């Protein structure tokens, strides 16, 4: 992409320049590595010290601060920096391959225009794929599945049959969508597989990380709401439904038939049991374990998860348990001695 002046960048993001706005900015970088033609950002106070040593041409910040670099002040500095990265570097470009002769595309499949289907892709019967999609090598799309426009499906992703995927969905490599859930009826000591007649619905603008697994519903559908972003190696159980714009960081696991509202956030390795209702705007810390219904706006931490403020104080005291126990014993002895005397 083309270099810009700092002024041009400020205009692009609706920000304000402190310093020389005429300098040329060619790329985005980190505080540590940036040079005079790079722009970087500061949103995490941890890195404030690096403002003194950075050689960056400019730094995107939220408010004025002392620095040798020029500043680009923006209301939402991380979003402004993101806009600049898109402007200077763009998103990943995908080569135009058309529909490869080395892919298998069923006669009954409908493929939209400008959709690229790479080698070794399999598109089964009655699949519908919109326009402007990219299906990288090794992708498998099961029969009767529908995919919208502008989707990017990275190598070796597997989408089972009868799934519905919206537009502008991104599936990172080796993700699995629509596999049978963990559903067995145990009878006389044997676990009998329940056919999974539900499906997976992935709404628009969702991104799903590498090696993630989204189970199809047993009899209900699994739903990933619009704009949800799901990290690597997340598992979503059968019939679980996420409201729009949830963020699930890597290795989160949600059991089946749970319902989450909109804008929920779960930190890495958090777990949520099945058959519970989690409200809107609920945040769960990393490794947290949610086992009950949760009202809107809660912030939770711990295993089992409790209110995060409580949890911060409480879990920090685990290390004092030996001391506490000793104190209790001492008190008991003293009191016993007192009672004797």
Closest approach of Cβ 62 to a copy of itself, in Å?
13
Q: Which of 118, 196, 238, 263 is catalytic?
A: 238
Site for a copy of itself in 136-165 (CB under 8 A): 136-138, 140, 143, 154-156, 158, 160-161
Q: Using CB under 8 A, which residues numbered 7 to 26 contact a copy of itself?
A: none
**How many other CB atoms are there within 10 angstroms of residue 224's CB atom?**
28
Residues binding a copy of itself: number (CB under 8 A): 121
Minimum CB distance to a copy of itself, residue 9 (Å): 15
The correct pick among 92, 96, 113, 340 for binding a copy of itself (CB under 8 A) is: 92
- Least separation in angstroms between residue 38's CB and a copy of itself is 9
Query: Does residue 185 interact with a copy of itself by CB under 8 A?
Result: yes
275 counts as catalytic:
no
Contact set for a copy of itself, span 42-71 (CB under 8 A): 44, 46
186 is a site residue for a copy of itself (CB under 8 A)? yes
Applying the rule CB under 8 A, the residues between 199 and 218 that interact with a copy of itself are 205, 207, 209-213, 215
Q: Which stretch binds a copy of itself (CB under 8 A): 15-23, 49-57, 108-116, 233-241?
A: 233-241
Catalytic residue numbers read 238
């Amino acid at each position: 992409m083309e270099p810009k002046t700092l002024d041009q960048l400020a205009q692009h993001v609706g920000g304000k320049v402190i310093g020389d706005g005429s300098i040329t900015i060619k790329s985005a970088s980190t505080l540590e590595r940036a040079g005079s033609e790079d722009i970087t950002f500061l949103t995490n106070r941890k890195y404030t010290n690096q403002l003194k040593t950075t050689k960056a041409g400019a730094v995107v910040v939220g408010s004025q601060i002392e620095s040798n670099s020029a500043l680009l002040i923006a209301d939402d500095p991380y979003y402004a920096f993101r806009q600049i990265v898109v402007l200077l570097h763009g998103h990943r470009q995908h080569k135009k391959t058309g529909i490869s002769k080395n892919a298998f595309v069923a006669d009954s499949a409908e493929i939209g225009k400008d959709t690229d289907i790479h080698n070794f892709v399999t598109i089964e019967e009655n699949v519908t794929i919109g326009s402007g999609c990219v299906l990288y090598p090794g992708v498998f799309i099961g029969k009767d599945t529908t995919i919208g426009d502008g989707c990017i499906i990275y190598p070796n992703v597997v989408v089972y049959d009868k799934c519905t995927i919206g537009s502008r969905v991104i599936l990172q490599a080796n993700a699995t969508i629509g596999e049978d859930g963990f559903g067995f009826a145990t009878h006389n000591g044997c676990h009998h597989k329940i056919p999974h007649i539900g499906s997976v619905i992935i709404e628009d603008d969702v991104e799903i990380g590498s090696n993630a697994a989204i189970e199809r519903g047993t009899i209900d559908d699994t739903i990933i709401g619009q704009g949800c972003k799901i990290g690597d190696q997340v598992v979503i159980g059968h019939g679980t439904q996420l409201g729009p714009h949830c963020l699930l960081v890597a290795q989160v696991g949600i059991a089946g038939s749970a319902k989450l509202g909109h804008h929920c956030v779960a930190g890495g390795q958090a777990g949520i049991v099945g058959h519970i209702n989690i409200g809107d705007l609920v945040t769960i810390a990393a490794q947290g374990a949610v086992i009950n219904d949760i009202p809107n706006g809660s912030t939770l931490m711990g295993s089992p998860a409790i209110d995060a403020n409580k949890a911060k104080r409480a879990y920090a005291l685990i290390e004092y348990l030996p001391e506490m126990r000793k104190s209790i014993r001492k008190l008991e002895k003293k009191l016993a001695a007192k009672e004797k005397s």
